[in-house]
Structure 1
Amino acid sequence: MNRYLPVARQHFLTALASTSVVVKCICVTVFVLYLISWLANTQVALAITPGYLFPPNFWIWTLLTHGVVEQHVWDVALNVATVITAGRLLEPLWGALELLVFFVVVTVAAGLLSGLSYVLAYAATFDLSYLFDVHISGAPTFLGAVLVALKQTSGDTTVLRVPQIRLKAAPALVLLTLAILRLAGLLETSAPLVGCSYGALAGWVYLRFYQRHSRGRGDMSDHFAFASFFPEALQPAVGLIASLVHAALVKMKVCRKMVKRYDVGAPSSITISLPGTDPQDAERRRQLALKALNERLKRVEDQSAWPSMEDEEDNDDDEVRTDAPLLPARDPSPPAPSTTQNSTGQESSIISFEDAPTHS
């Protein structure tokens, strides 16, 4: 164990050094508040306590501070790892400012919804423990939102090969794990489950309808619909309920209506973007198709064999050499030379072809 600690420490420092000032500030804040928790009760002063969040106390600052308050060292490690992961995977796509906006929006929205849920639970049961014994804080809120964002950007990435688990199933698996731990009594309260659930919901709403980017606002692609977070058997029913809720929110002007968009600035031809065929979805499918094509071409190249040089040498050896005379003599005896005398009186030897056919 001791030999792995320096390696883990080196990887952690390298990852932290490559992130922006926003990520570094959040990580340092988490660590400093954890040290302060040894001297003061930060859980009450900075975490969300439903009984203190709403009037007459109205501790609204806890909506901002609850996401960086931890009580155990393993919770600190999880919180810092979540922030660094967001910095390494999401910040290059969004930028440091957008990542900070995402963190603030998710933290405030999830904290408010979590506190309101416990107030409603108190109103239904009149149990004061829901108001003053529950403290919502730590990494689960931002963890749920980061998993949703990773599903949007790289949902087809394989996390485990046996069994095969892709990143798009991570939000549902984490929530299921927290629910099992709570039912088994391994979690003291339901605050981590509630915080992670509302963090995932707040992150999805922001990314789906409100995030600004070069193509406008939000992401209306099919692979990021609310029903895609559920198993395929439940997706039709969830999609119907989500459509009804969305229609109600559009009438309340909380969400915007999905409209047709025409991208006339495409370099090659006019691209028509309809609901469910967002440019982000099209780009994602294009990248998958290119990846599959490259893998197929690589397999074909590996199977094909290059011609051997030995084959060429064998062909050269098999060539027929034409060193023999083209017209072999019929008579094996050499022809008799005929001697004539030229005008100068010298004799010359002339080979006569007596066997040649005569032409009349």
Structure 2
Amino acid sequence: MNRYLPVARQHFLSALSSMSVVVKFICATVLLLYLLSWAVDTSYALGVTPGYLFPPNFWVWTLVTHALVEEHVWGVVVSVGTVMAAGRLLEPLWGAMELLIFFAVVNVSAGLLTGLSYLFTYAATFNLDYLFAVRVYGAPGFLGGVLVALKQTSGDTTVLRVPQVRLKAAPALALLFMAVLWLAGLPEIAAPMAACFYGVLAGWVYLRFYQRHSRGRGDMSDHFAFASFFPEVLQPAVGLAAGLIHAALVKMKLCRKMVKRYDVGAPSSITISLPGTDPQDAERRRQLALKALNERLRRVEDQSAWPSMEDEEDDDDEVRTDAPLLPTQEVEALAAGTSASQNPTGQESSIISFEDASSHS
């Protein structure tokens, strides 16, 4: 085991060196706060406590800092590994700034929704432990958001071969695993499970409706619908319920109605881009269509090209010079025949005969 540690450390450092400044900053902050937790209760000062998040305390900064706090080594491994996986798989597609926005949106939403859920639980049970004994911190919220993003970008990737598990099932499996741990008698897993669930929900809402990209905003493709997070048996019912809820939110103006957009590009070509389509595939098809159109126009231009006047004159000269010369008798006979055909009354023939007679006399 000890001989593999230097190799793992080398791979970790090489992977971290290739990351952006955003990923390095988040990982360094997590490590620094973990070391600080040995001397200070960082989960109390920087983690989300439902009783302190809402009035009259308003510890709103904890919505930003709770995702960077860890108190256990395994939590640091999960947090740093999640951030590095996002930097390796999502940052090349989105960019560093978009990854930072996604990190902030998911964590703030997960912390706020988790705190609200515990507040409602206290309102139903009047148990103060749900307000002041609960600490929400760590990477579960961002882990749920990253799993949703990986489902969107590379959902068909196979994670396990036996049994065959694809990446698109990872969010549901993560929540199921946490639920099993909670039912097995680990009550401290309840807060991470709630944060992971709300991270999945926040990540899906942001990627589905609000993320800006070159094709517009959001992703309305069928493979990223809310029903796709459930087994195929439940997808029709979940899809119907989700559609009704979305329509109600649109009527209440709490959600924006999504429409498919057709973007017309340059006048030389027409580009039709729909949300959810692969931009590289669309660009490849556009190039093929443009190439076929150019070849067709080239053939039409070759067929309708104007002939050269010099070539026609040269051809006429060749025809005149190459034509065979007729004998003199044939020429006279042709001339006489032409004159007779032009004077059907016979006047020309009488003149000729008169001249002949006068010459004989």
CA distance in structure 2 between the partners assigned to 1:255 and 1:191 by the alignment: 28
The aligned residue for residue 214 of structure 2 is 214
Shift of 1:281: 9.2
2-structure distance, mates of 1:230, 1:282: 29
Higher helix share: 2
Amino acid corresponding to residue 19 of structure 1 in structure 2: M
TM-score (norm 1): 0.75
Q: State the structure with more CA Rg.
A: 2
- Aligned partners of 1:113 and 1:282: how far apart in 2? 37
Where does residue 31 of structure 2 map in the other structure? Answer: 31
TM-score scaled by length of structure 2: 0.75
Does the CA contact (< 8 Å) of 1:221 and 1:281 recur in 2?
Answer: no
5+ residue gaps, structure 1: 288-360
Compared with structure 1, are the counterparts of its residues 26 and 224 closer, same or farther at alpha carbon in structure 2 (3 Å cutoff)?
same
Q: For 1:27-66, list aligned pairs within 5 A.
A: 27-66=27-66
CA–CA distance in 2 between the matches of 1:88 and 1:118? 34
Kept in 2, the 8 Å contact 1:222–1:281? The answer is: no
For 1:35 and 1:224, locate their aligned partners in 2 and report how far apart those are by CA, in whole Å: 39
Return the alpha-carbon distance in structure 1 between the equivalents of residues 80 and 199 of structure 2.
17
Question: 1: CA distance between counterparts of 2:270 and 2:95?
Answer: 30
The Cα shift of 1:189 comes to 4.0
Partner Cα distance (1:281, 1:131) in 2: 47
* Aligned residue-pair number: 283
Paired residues for 1:142-161 under 5 Å: 142-161=142-161
The aligned residue for residue 102 of structure 1 is 102
> CA distance change for structure 1 residues 201 and 223 in 2, over 3 Å: closer, same or farther?
same
C-alpha RMSD of matched pairs (Å):
2.0
Match of 1:117 in 2: 117
The equivalences for 1:206-285 within 5 A come to: 206-265=206-265, 271=272, 273=274, 278-280=276-278, 283=281
Provide the identity percentage.
72
Instruction: Determine the C-alpha separation between the residues in 2 that align with 1:153 and 1:31.
Output: 29
C-alpha distance in 1, partners of 2:278/2:207?
A: 12
Task: Confirm or deny: 8 A CA contact 2:175 2:193 kept in the other structure.
Answer: yes
Cα distance change on mapping 1:240 and 1:106 into 2, 3 Å: same
Q: More displaced, 256-265 or 113-122?
A: 256-265
Query: Residue type of the partner of 1:17?
Result: S
Structure 2 partner of 1:91? 91
Distance in 2 of aligned mates of 1:171 and 1:281 = 25
Quote the Cα distance in structure 2 between the aligned partners of 1:283 and 1:127: 56
**C-alpha separation between the residues in 1 aligned to 2:88 and 2:64?**
23
Q: 1:97, CA displacement in angstroms?
A: 0.4
Conservation of the 8 A alpha-carbon contact between 1:64 and 1:107: yes
Q: Is the 8 A contact 1:134 1:189 kept in 2?
A: no
Structure 2 gap ranges (5+): 286-361
Deviation at 1:283, TM superposition (A): 4.6
> What are the superposed Cα offsets for residues 239-294 of structure 1, whole Å, 9 maximum, x if unpaired?
11111111122223332212232233398766474xxx73249959x99xxxxxxx
- SS of equivalent to 1:176: helix
